[in-house]
Amino acid sequence: MDGQKATRLMLGLAPDGPRLSTEEIQELCRKADERFAALTEEDQIFSLLAGKISGAYGLSDFDSKITKEEIAEYTLKIQMGPKFAERVLKDPITRKKLGLEPN
């Protein structure tokens, strides 16, 4: 994956869109930083966790074998502990924040 595609994915853009100039990337990053700063501390944590889950799922060579749910469970257990992972995966609101399907 080239740097442009990786940057576009990190900014939530389609990976195969038109190439971005440095100024466009800087502006998108600035806007993303502003949106992130406006989130509550809890939503910032969930945003970071959602990014890790999506990144791991998107980079997995085993997409057909490992579900996003399994990656989420593994990531949450490693990052936050098993009790937190269990609680979060049962809650429909936090599942939505993490980009997971409803139960």
Let me know whether 82 and 60 are in one domain.
Answer: yes
Phi, psi dihedral angles at 12 (to 5 degrees): 80, 25
In a domain, 103, yes or no: no
- Total domain count for the chain? 2
The tens digit of pLDDT for each residue in 2-24 reads 666 777 676 777 777 788 788 98
> Based on the domain organization, do 45 and 8 belong to the same domain?
no
Instruction: Please report whether residue 55 resides in a domain.
Output: yes
Across the chain, how many H-helices and E-strands are there? Answer: 6, 0
In a domain, 102, yes or no: no
pLDDT score, position 37 = 92
When the pLDDT of each residue in the chain is averaged and rounded to a whole number, the result is 82
What angle separates helix 68-80 from helix 41-59, to the nearest 10 degrees? 130
Residues 86 and 50 in one domain: yes
- Residue 88's domain comprises 41-97
Q: Are 5 and 59 in contact (CB under 8 A)?
A: no
pTM of the model as a whole: 0.57
pLDDT top residue among 16 and 86: 86
